[in-house]
Amino acid sequence: MKTFVVLSDSHGRKKNVEKLLPLFAENDYVVHLGDGSSDMRDFFRDDPDKTYVMKGNCDFSYGLEEIVIEAENVRIFCCHGHKYGVKSTLARLAARAKELDCSVALYGHTHRADITQLNGVLLVNPGSVGDYASPSYCYLVVHGDIVTPAIVPIR
């Protein structure tokens, strides 16, 4: 079993990122999906082997464009989402995930938490960790080939 803390769109609101630091330490992977990637530099520096930071449309120098993470029997595509038009449709994102032989795609950009199944791909947006009214992240568990996401509010 592998566990992930997935967050996105912190936009400099490091206070909410810092609230998650104890979770970062106890999970197998930490994935920041962009727009505030520099908010993760300290943690990435401390634990680079389990931390993946994507580059969003508001990030100018730090982060990966996209990556595929293999956990147990699952391939997970990670990106910010802006290059796939996720504010309009999730079809292009699902198609890219399938092209990469991934059954899961993690994305941000919209600031809206969402879990959707489309064309055989589980699409997960953790929402915005930087949101002032309702910040959230995703706790994701991969066990064999079963993936269980849960959107968690940050208090």
CATH number at residue 91: 3.60.21.10
| Residue 34 · residue 108 · CB < 8 Å | yes
- Among 45-49, 112-116, 128-132, the minimum mean pLDDT is found in 45-49
Residue ranges making up the domain that contains 126: 2-153
- Averaged pLDDT, 113-128: 98
Average pLDDT taken over every residue of the chain: 96
User: Tokens 């968690």 map to which residue?
Assistant: 152
Q: What is the pLDDT of residue 46?
A: 83
For residue 23, what pLDDT band results from cuts at 50, 70 and 90? very high
pLDDT range class, residue 72, cuts 50, 70, 90:
very high
> At 152, is the pLDDT very low, low, confident or very high (cuts 50, 70, 90)?
very high
Q: CB of 140 within 8 A of CB of 133?
A: no
pLDDT for position 44:
81
Note the Cα 22 to chain centre separation in Å: 18
Q: What's the total number of domains in the chain?
A: 1
Residue-wise pLDDT tens digits, 37-71? 999 988 888 888 999 999 999 998 789 999 999 99
pLDDT at residue 11 tops 90: yes
Q: Which helix (H) or strand (E) holds 15?
A: helix 14-19
In the chain, DSSP finds a helix count (H) and a strand count (E) of 4, 10
**CB-CB contact of 29 with 5 (8 Å):** yes
Contact criterion met (CB below 8 Å) for 32 and 59: no
Tracing tokens 């990966």 back to the chain, one arrives at: 64
Distance from the Cα of residue 103 to its chain's centroid: 15
Dihedrals φ, ψ of 96, to 5°?
-65, -40
Percentage of residues of the chain with pLDDT beyond 70:
100
Nearest to 27 by CA among 129, 147, 155, 142: 142
Q: Is the pTM of this model over 0.95?
A: yes
Q: For 96-107, how does the pLDDT look when each residue is reduced to its tens digit (9 = 90+)?
A: 999 999 999 999
